[in-house]
Amino acid sequence: MRAHLAAVVVISVAVGLVGCIPVRPALAFSPSALPNATAGTAYLQTITVSNNVTPVGDISVSSGSLPPGVTLNFVRGSSVSADLTGTPTARGTYVFTVSAWCLGTNVSGQTGDQTYTLIVS
């Protein structure tokens, strides 16, 4: 009887914890790879975040560097995308990480990162 009671208590506590910790899907970034760019030619690529449970609070470059002349601009009205835009001025291979977080992150824990390589010829 004592072993049965202990098992019920453990199961009840475990079920209660699962009920308190929401499981959120990982944020997904699209596209998964960027098309190449040409120095001196305007470039525009939209990066979209999906699988968010709450609205996206921001999308930004968290590490690495963009090509000179190119910026990442969070599209505030859409809440799910950022435009990688500008005219690259230097040839090279640029590796950077784009990060996103959702409003209510302290509750939902939804953040995500995607590493991109942009080749400028």
Domains annotated on the chain, with CATH: 24-120 (2.60.40.4140)
Report which DSSP code applies to 68: T
Q: CB neighbours (10 Å) of residue 62?
A: 13
pLDDT tens digit string along 2-32?
Answer: 554 444 444 444 444 445 556 778 899 999 9
Residue located via tokens 């968010």: 52
Determine the average pLDDT of the residues in 97-115: 83
Residue 51: which region, alpha, beta or left (left: phi > 0; alpha: psi -120 to 50)? left
Closest Cα partner for 100 from 66, 64, 50? 50
Task: Give the number of C-alpha atoms closer than 13 A to the C-alpha of residue 113, restricted to the C-beta side.
Answer: 7
Higher-confidence position of 106 and 43 = 43
* φ, ψ (nearest 5 deg) of residue 19: -65, -25
pLDDT tens digit string along 36-85?
Answer: 999 999 999 999 999 988 888 899 999 999 999 999 999 876 668 999 99
Residue 116 · residue 29 · CB < 8 Å: no
What is the pLDDT, as a whole number, of residue 83?
96
